[in-house]
Chain A
């Protein structure tokens, strides 16, 4: 019989199954590591120590996690309304411009905590603006959002090239980037958070935007499950015909959802731009928008799951960087292979183990 309809307890659905998927992902990654002649157990150990061993490693891990939470939330919000936003990458990139313009205009005059709210709004507005045109095309013209958001990634990339190379570059410099923001345009590092656990942040760029990300997780949870708008989004996402029956306006919900989704993606820019490098650099998003798709998928589009999934990818990014440093045969590309395995097993093959687990569960419980 089909096992898809059998409901399992939450601890199996959200605990056991993801864990087994992760174990499988690491098993196959281990095989790859073994095949190129390195010891997989040693590699795993290096990866974990690199990501979680010292305060600085944790700081880097959480820095990456922050970016992935924002982009993961961005993808998740859209998915709840049945929209697949592949454009978080570009929306985050344009969000960087919003944050940078605020920082550049205010950093001379006010302290960071005054700049921050404006920067959050600026980043969100620019991110939302980037999502607005694909959203409008979907809502009014039926152009598929997947196609248009992908295309906007390229458009934004070119636009930002132009803006950085022609407009915002510091005269006389070669690097296409803005000037360094003064302290009034920077988000403070979270030394105290790591110190709380007895570690030292060192050079790691973990910053205040991590806390903004956590707040956004809570707000997204409220939005989706506790507001009328979230109810309308979920109705539309599951059943467009039921939504039209209920008088839920398709175009309105598509627009609002995509603006929120784009805004969340845009806020991701706060982390690298105002938190880490204190300037707007070319290609600063670095694929975090696409990782957000995997994070949202793995986290079952739920903020709590997204935090965990973002943390996992943070560990892989940071641990992977350390690993490629310690094991020269494991290159950056190898790390991408491992990340790919995680996405494959935890995201794409989500249901591979499920039938077997359902049968086992039924045997054990005797139902």
Chain B
């Protein structure tokens, strides 16, 4: 599947095939990427994008097929050969030494000799040149952990360029970035392309594909189902190709019917473990039958706010009322009894125990309930039956309550959490990043469930860094900046207005 390209190809994949046990991760993949272009690869989680890129970067070996780089067949045995062939990779989770400086990280693995001194001097010079050429400004002596995420990503790109990468692979690069940082990244990518570098962008965000790529390939269930010129395709067509059926991109919902106040936050101040004030004197209400969205660039106190309401983090001062009862300082178990359900931002670290089997996670937080076993004992039969009902109702795949949770895809893991929290029929639901790393089909499903909760008269508090998600779900939007709620808008507020508020410019 390739488009005739006037330019010479940088990468040609011919008949790549890879199986993991019974899973056919890549089926006879053919792909040509022209030199000096930005090529997007989209697909749902588990479609085989990451496997394909891992083969290209030497983490996995293809069972069959050939890889040609700049026309020459290359046997990529490991990441070293990939780097030597001019391929650089920017991972979704950065591979940086947190307490090293930018310069040290860039040099790592390419120190150039036993003694550092000479290497440092050359590296510093080279880094300066790369910064000037591509507009990748980062202070070489800054320590990584003190840099914002966007800058850390730039360091990853610098690392790849420092090693002479002609082809850059970026895996979900904007997942952790603010809109402004993402824009900056795209600017850098365009400069890189214009200077002749080839870029492969793996993402599941259709808007990014439309915004930045020249060509795009769609993967579904291990196959490359289509390749298009970006200018000649639409978001709707790509979404349909990804999922294999028509998808509603915009959630349909009727008007809200707000009732009495179920969640009330008064002058809440929350500090993080270092004592830095993360939530600063915040007050708001959430009523029954409405979805209140909290918009904001990641790191402006939303996480701490959620954790404080969920009882995980003790507030420094202020009050929280759930259905009129004071709830600040009550632990998560007590809050669940009050009717609060919590879908946490980070399902890997909070919402799930990945090593547990599915059914064990289906009771996390509710495991003391009498219906899962009398007294001190667990009733495994009852728990498994309950888990299987949720699996059926939420279409969790594979439908196997005994499977390790880590072996489910991101979307299905999130469905496990959503099923657990919603099926308890809580009075109110607080949700962090409901669809982070979740594929389109599951996003649609989860959004529908959230709106159903609202329509059933529950109070829903939603935190998301995806502005689209906030706008399409929320009835009211609060914007957080630097720990404060800087403004409130209706659900119909424009992206631009909210964007300015999120940047702390307008109120």
A interface, CB within 8 angstroms of B: 1, 6-7, 226-232, 234-235, 238-239, 241-242, 244-249, 362, 367
**B350 closest partner in A (C-beta):** A245
Nearest-neighbour CB distance to chain A for B310, whole angstroms, equals: 7
Chain B interface mostly: loop
Known: A7-B404, A245-B344, A245-B365. 10 other contacts (CB 8 A): A227-B377, A228-B367, A239-B355, A242-B349, A242-B351, A245-B312, A246-B333, A246-B367, A247-B311, A367-B21
A231 cross-chain contacts in B, Cβ below 8 A: 360, 363, 367, 378
Given the interface pairs A238-B355, A242-B352, the reply to whether A1 lies near B60 with Cβ below 8 Å is: yes
B352 cross-chain contacts in A, Cβ below 8 A: 242
**A2 closest partner in B (C-beta):** B59
Contact of A245 among B19, B59, B351, B368 (CB under 8 A): B351
Total of A-B residue pairs, C-beta within 8 Å: 79
Whether A245 contacts B377 by the Cβ 8 Å rule is: no
Given the interface pairs A1-B60, A1-B61, A239-B353, the reply to whether A228 lies near B376 with Cβ below 8 Å is: yes
Whether A229 contacts B356 by the Cβ 8 Å rule is: no
Contact of A227 among B19, B333, B356, B376 (CB under 8 A): B376
Whether B349 contacts A239 by the Cβ 8 Å rule is: yes
- What are some 12 contacts across the A-B interface (CB < 8 A)? A229-B376, A234-B353, A238-B356, A242-B350, A244-B350, A245-B312, A245-B365, A246-B332, A246-B364, A247-B332, A247-B336, A249-B331
Given the interface pairs A227-B378, A228-B378, A247-B332, the reply to whether A241 lies near B368 with Cβ below 8 Å is: no
Contact of B21 among A232, A242, A362 (CB under 8 A): A362
Q: Does B334 contact A (CB under 8 A)?
A: yes
Whether A246 contacts B21 by the Cβ 8 Å rule is: no
A245 cross-chain contacts in B, Cβ below 8 A: 310, 312, 332, 342, 344, 350-351, 364-365
B349 cross-chain contacts in A, Cβ below 8 A: 239, 241-242
**A231 closest partner in B (C-beta):** B367
Q: Does B116 contact A (CB under 8 A)?
A: no
A230→B376 CA distance, assembly (Å): 9
Could you say which of A7, A228, A229 has the most chain B C-beta atoms within 10 Å of its C-beta?
Answer: A228
A241 cross-chain contacts in B, Cβ below 8 A: 346, 349-350
B interface, CB within 8 angstroms of A: 19-22, 59-61, 310-312, 331-336, 342, 344, 346, 349-356, 360, 363-365, 367-368, 372-373, 376-378, 380, 404
Nearest-neighbour CB distance to chain A for B480, whole angstroms, equals: 21
B61 cross-chain contacts in A, Cβ below 8 A: 1
B334 cross-chain contacts in A, Cβ below 8 A: 247
A235 cross-chain contacts in B, Cβ below 8 A: 353, 356, 364
B311 cross-chain contacts in A, Cβ below 8 A: 247
A228→B20 CA distance, assembly (Å): 36
Whether A244 contacts B360 by the Cβ 8 Å rule is: no
A241→B303 CA distance, assembly (Å): 14
Nearest-neighbour CB distance to chain A for B354, whole angstroms, equals: 8
Nearest-neighbour CB distance to chain A for B325, whole angstroms, equals: 17
Nearest-neighbour CB distance to chain A for B241, whole angstroms, equals: 28
Whether A247 contacts B355 by the Cβ 8 Å rule is: no
A232 cross-chain contacts in B, Cβ below 8 A: 367
Given the interface pairs A227-B376, A227-B377, A229-B376, the reply to whether A247 lies near B350 with Cβ below 8 Å is: no
Whether B353 contacts A244 by the Cβ 8 Å rule is: no
**B355 closest partner in A (C-beta):** A238
Whether A238 contacts B353 by the Cβ 8 Å rule is: yes
Whether B22 contacts A244 by the Cβ 8 Å rule is: no
Whether A247 contacts B344 by the Cβ 8 Å rule is: no
Given the interface pairs A1-B61, A245-B350, A247-B336, the reply to whether A226 lies near B377 with Cβ below 8 Å is: yes
Whether A367 contacts B22 by the Cβ 8 Å rule is: yes
Nearest-neighbour CB distance to chain B for A178, whole angstroms, equals: 37
A191→B61 CA distance, assembly (Å): 61
B367 cross-chain contacts in A, Cβ below 8 A: 228, 231-232, 246
Nearest-neighbour CB distance to chain A for B488, whole angstroms, equals: 28
B353 cross-chain contacts in A, Cβ below 8 A: 234-235, 238-239, 242
**B372 closest partner in A (C-beta):** A228
Nearest-neighbour CB distance to chain B for A213, whole angstroms, equals: 23
A226 cross-chain contacts in B, Cβ below 8 A: 377-378, 380
B376 cross-chain contacts in A, Cβ below 8 A: 227-229
Nearest-neighbour CB distance to chain B for A251, whole angstroms, equals: 11
**B380 closest partner in A (C-beta):** A226
A249→B373 CA distance, assembly (Å): 20
A250→B20 CA distance, assembly (Å): 39
B365 cross-chain contacts in A, Cβ below 8 A: 245-247
Whether B21 contacts A6 by the Cβ 8 Å rule is: yes
A239→B344 CA distance, assembly (Å): 14
A238 cross-chain contacts in B, Cβ below 8 A: 353-356
**B369 closest partner in A (C-beta):** A228
**A246 closest partner in B (C-beta):** B365
Nearest-neighbour CB distance to chain A for B157, whole angstroms, equals: 26
A234 cross-chain contacts in B, Cβ below 8 A: 353, 356
A248 cross-chain contacts in B, Cβ below 8 A: 333
Nearest-neighbour CB distance to chain A for B343, whole angstroms, equals: 10
Nearest-neighbour CB distance to chain B for A148, whole angstroms, equals: 23
A367 cross-chain contacts in B, Cβ below 8 A: 19, 21-22
A249→B350 CA distance, assembly (Å): 14
Nearest-neighbour CB distance to chain A for B383, whole angstroms, equals: 10
**B373 closest partner in A (C-beta):** A228
Nearest-neighbour CB distance to chain B for A212, whole angstroms, equals: 22
A241→B364 CA distance, assembly (Å): 12
A362 cross-chain contacts in B, Cβ below 8 A: 21
Nearest-neighbour CB distance to chain B for A359, whole angstroms, equals: 12
B380 cross-chain contacts in A, Cβ below 8 A: 226
**B332 closest partner in A (C-beta):** A247
Whether A247 contacts B333 by the Cβ 8 Å rule is: yes
A362→B20 CA distance, assembly (Å): 10
B372 cross-chain contacts in A, Cβ below 8 A: 228
Nearest-neighbour CB distance to chain A for B376, whole angstroms, equals: 5
Nearest-neighbour CB distance to chain A for B334, whole angstroms, equals: 7
A1 cross-chain contacts in B, Cβ below 8 A: 20, 59-61
